[in-house]
Structure 1
Amino acid sequence: MRNAVHAEWTKLRTVRSTAWLLLGLITVTVLVSVLSTSAMHTSHCPTPTGCFEDTTKDSLIGIRVGQIAVVLLAVSVIGNEYGTGMIHTSLTALPRRRTLLAGKALLLVAMVAVAGTLAVLGSLWAGRTILAGNGFNPEHGYPALSPTDGPTLRAAAGTVLYLILIALLSLGVAITIRDTAGAVTVLLTLLYILPLLVQTITDPTWHHRLEKLPPMTAGLAITTTHNLDRLPIAPWPGTTLLAGYTAAAVLLATLTFTRRDA
């Protein structure tokens, strides 16, 4: 396994896009969070304490955009090899296909965990600084954001876990489809288009049943710290549902990768 991870690291660190995508995850996530929180001010509320804002969730809003870098990175881990034919060389060097996949997955998880943690901490720091200056402070009933606070810690750790699950889901889809453009299209549709389609359902019963199912809706429920009863799905059940999607994608990818020609 060590050889597999080392080989994958050697390949990925020599590809310029790897560093750019990891940097993009951090930069875009923090930047979107900065722009979003900068537009919030208690002067826009009916009363200083009348916004009922979830400052933790608001500070992590950039994840919704930054995750695109995770999708692109995960797809490129296998998509580039299929696109260039390098996959044949990889399988010649390491014929044990499950070990090859495990090496790719472990390295991907490590990279996304590190970059995702930096993105989350940067977003929370920006939110703490900006929102406090915009009136969302203890004086108006909004405690300062702190990663040591229970709900905020859950949201922060859960968001990093969300990014890891999205990365593995993306890797599984890319391995199964074996086409970079096709895999990216499928994943962005699942993340962004599917929730919009659910919103067009007018039947209340079916809307209630389906609105909790899209991967991003389920997974990012973990960022909410207030009014959990208003969510389509609770934070940890949402993460569990996303984990189920990811496990199914990885299992299907493993079966197809080990049973068909490269």
Structure 2
Amino acid sequence: MAATQVLQSEWTKIRSVRSTVWTLSLALVVSLALGALISIVSRIGFDDMSLQDRAAFDPTFVSFAGMGLGQLAMIVFGVLVISNEYSTGMIRTSLAAVPQRSTFLFCKIAVASALALIVGFVTSFGALFLGQALLGDHRTSISDPGVLRAVLGGGLYMGLIAMFSMGIAAMLRSPMLALGILMPFFFLISNILGNVDATRKVGQYLPDQAGSKIMQVVTPPDDTAPYGPWGGFAIMVLWVVAALIGGWIVMRQRDA
């Protein structure tokens, strides 16, 4: 089967499965709603901040606060896109129709990644404009230095989180196992490693810790990372590439 036909087939699969559509919608809604709430709270509490906190105040990053929870939905989307066919047994039918496993996997990832990136950019730009409107006098502008880079980076970050999850799901095949590893990793282990002094040097090289740096315009005073926004983004890309290669190797070598 030609690659264009496989792409069309994967697009049909994704849009016909309600769970994948709902998870992408949830990523957008949760990110915007929580970002708006935190922007309002930040505006109200700004006058009570210390001088040090005011100097480190990053209105752009504040508007992105909801994306930390929105990435939960992106992880679920990435896992379901890959592992749904394994859990239902449809993977045998799919591989019978497309015996070229590399073509099958990367066409699936290409379609899903394009959707994740589109939703990521809509979420990122939406969060910025909504958050800045709610921050009032403390807002920034997309034309200010570093803001456009942060917004574009936010969209890329959300897409890469989904792609990383796809790679892990391709390796593990089971949606429960993949989610059982990814959820604690991003929402517990990463935060612990990144906030404990003894492990901070390790935590800052994890994909979410490094990748989220591209969304910052103002560097926090306690930030000791030896890389800048694009350096952190490059680290995240390496994690994603490693996960996708791992998924590709497993698919080629293991039976369906």
Q: What is the TM-score normalised by the length of structure 1?
A: 0.89
What is the aligned partner in structure 1 of residue 147 from structure 2? 152
Bigger Cα displacement from structure 2, 10-19 vs 27-36? 10-19
| Of 176, 193, 198, the match for 2:193 | 198
C-alpha change, 1:228 and 1:237, in structure 2 (3 Å) is farther
What is the aligned partner in structure 1 of residue 79 from structure 2? 75
C-alpha change, 1:54 and 1:202, in structure 2 (3 Å) is closer
What is the aligned partner in structure 2 of residue 225 from structure 1? 217
- Summarize the alignment of residues 99-248 of structure 1 with structure 2, pairs less than 5 Å apart: 99-132=103-136, 135-137=137-139, 144-146=140-142, 148-198=143-193, 201-203=196-198, 207-227=199-219, 230-233=222-225, 234-248=228-242
2:141 is paired with a residue whose SS is: coil
Per-residue deviation, residues 165-223 of structure 1 (Å, max 9, x unmatched): 111110010010011011012111221212233257454xxx34223122211110111
1:39 is paired with a residue whose SS is: helix
Identical residues among aligned pairs (%)? 29
Q: Which amino acid aligns with 2:216?
A: T
Contact 1:70 1:112 in 2 (8 A): yes
Q: Which amino acid aligns with 1:219?
A: G
Contact 1:190 1:214 in 2 (8 A): no
What is the aligned partner in structure 2 of residue 140 from structure 1? none
| Of 33, 36, 60, the match for 1:34 | 36
Shift of 1:150: 3.7
Q: Which amino acid aligns with 1:151?
A: G
Shift of 1:163: 1.4
Mapped to 2, the partners of 1:247 and 1:79 lie a distance apart of 19
1:225 is paired with a residue whose SS is: coil
Mapped to 2, the partners of 1:220 and 1:202 lie a distance apart of 19
1:25 is paired with a residue whose SS is: helix
Mapped to 2, the partners of 1:97 and 1:184 lie a distance apart of 24
Mapped to 1, the partners of 2:166 and 2:101 lie a distance apart of 15
Mapped to 2, the partners of 1:248 and 1:60 lie a distance apart of 27
Does residue 83 of structure 2 align to residue 91 of structure 1?
A: no
What is the aligned partner in structure 2 of residue 14 from structure 1? 16
What is the aligned partner in structure 2 of residue 62 from structure 1? 66
What is the aligned partner in structure 2 of residue 141 from structure 1? none
1:226 is paired with a residue whose SS is: coil
Contact 1:45 1:51 in 2 (8 A): no
Mapped to 1, the partners of 2:24 and 2:196 lie a distance apart of 36
Contact 2:56 2:220 in 1 (8 A): no
2:146 is paired with a residue whose SS is: helix
Q: What is the TM-score normalised by the length of structure 2?
A: 0.91
Per-residue deviation, residues 75-126 of structure 1 (Å, max 9, x unmatched): 1112110000000010011110000111111111110111111111111111
CA RMSD of aligned residues (A): 1.9
Contact 1:127 1:145 in 2 (8 A): no
